[in-house]
Amino acid sequence: MQRAGPEEAAGAQAAAGGGSAAPAGRLLRRELRLLESIFHRGHERFRIGSACPDEISCEFVPGTADRAGGSAARGPPPGPVRIHCNITESYPAVPPIWSVESDDPNLAAILERLVEVRRGDTLLLQHLKRIISDLCKLYNLPQHPDVEMLDQPLPAEQSTQEEVSSEEEDEEMPEDSEDLDHYEMKEEEPADGKKMEDEGIGKENLAILEKIKKNQRQDYLNGAVSGSVQATDRLMKELRDIYRSPSFKGGYYAVELVNDSLYDWNVKLLKVRPSRVDEDSALHNDLQILREKEGADFILLNFSFKDNFPFDPPFVRVVSPVLSGGYVLGGGAICMELLTKQGWSSAYSIESVIMQISATLVKGKARVQFGANKNQYSLTRAQQSYKSLVQIHEKNGWYTPPKEDG
């Protein structure tokens, strides 16, 4: 997955300052209504899968029937191009943040060029117009006529008497009360959109997601909001993706929230192998012995996320058991470039990080240190080791092993 750079968005957010968020929120809802009316789920070229005031999921369908000519320089991809958009509560002062589920640099370039789009009240629609047009050019497809419909006037706001009364009450409320819209608007999501969002997730895990939402709302009412809208939205998406993942359902790993915090995860690596088809690794066999001795046959990792996730990596450490090798450092820190700012990309999914750590432990010949002092792993020591690790590699660079070493 790739995304448009956050630097511009961050700068705009800093410059935006105050402003009236409520009118912007109503304007955004009108943009979404227009968007869904044009690019419905049955559209031949571009489809809105789900849309709410802080997140949009959509896909570009290249097809083959209306290719412009038979000798295009670039053919369509094997399937739809899936695109995601995160919208902050400061929109349109802060542009939407786009990402695409692909490592294709041509797709990343399309998102990066969005900074050239002139800002205005309908920035979301103009971004999508540019994205669809550029994708048609990339795959040598004719411009779809429906794209021009994004320039038409927005539909009139549908105001009921109840909404009018609510707006009158909003005028009497302090400005920061608009933050509550972040939670309220998600509850107004259409039933079919929510069904798609929850598809493939077990009842037990759906209950966890609902509990998180309930806790977030209660924290707001208690004046104890933690984290950021951006990080919370992304972490909720990551958790949903994990709950519907075949690897998660297949018992390769498990995820638990520490004290129900979305920003603090314990991850258990349950099946530690170089791949699903290889013979059991030495580490896997060590864990079987550990189960006989201590009743635990997993490696426990802790993922700690900050407010600026996904633009900064999570801090990951081994909690137990004590390991040797496998690029595990003092205190339980892990020596992997992708866990540093230098090697991190906001396009990485948490599941991909989990699976990469599992493979790295095996390829690095990690072994359980039976009888070792368990107190040698701690958050403080891991942070110290990580800091030293970053300083060393910033000076000397990172070693890339030969391909035959994995």
2-44 residue pLDDT tens: 545 444 444 444 343 444 445 667 888 889 989 988 998 889 8
Active site (annotated) includes residue 136: no
pLDDT confidence of residue 117: 86
Residue pair 201/212 in contact by the 8 Å Cβ criterion: no
Question: Residue 181's pLDDT band (boundaries 50, 70, 90)?
Answer: very low
211-266 residue pLDDT tens: 988 888 777 777 777 788 888 889 999 999 999 999 999 999 999 999 999 999 99
pLDDT confidence of residue 158: 58
Residue 194 has pLDDT above 50, yes or no: yes
pLDDT: which is higher, 135 or 281: 135
Catalytic residue among 52, 58, 136, 335: 335
pLDDT confidence of residue 215: 83
Rounded mean pLDDT of the chain? Answer: 78
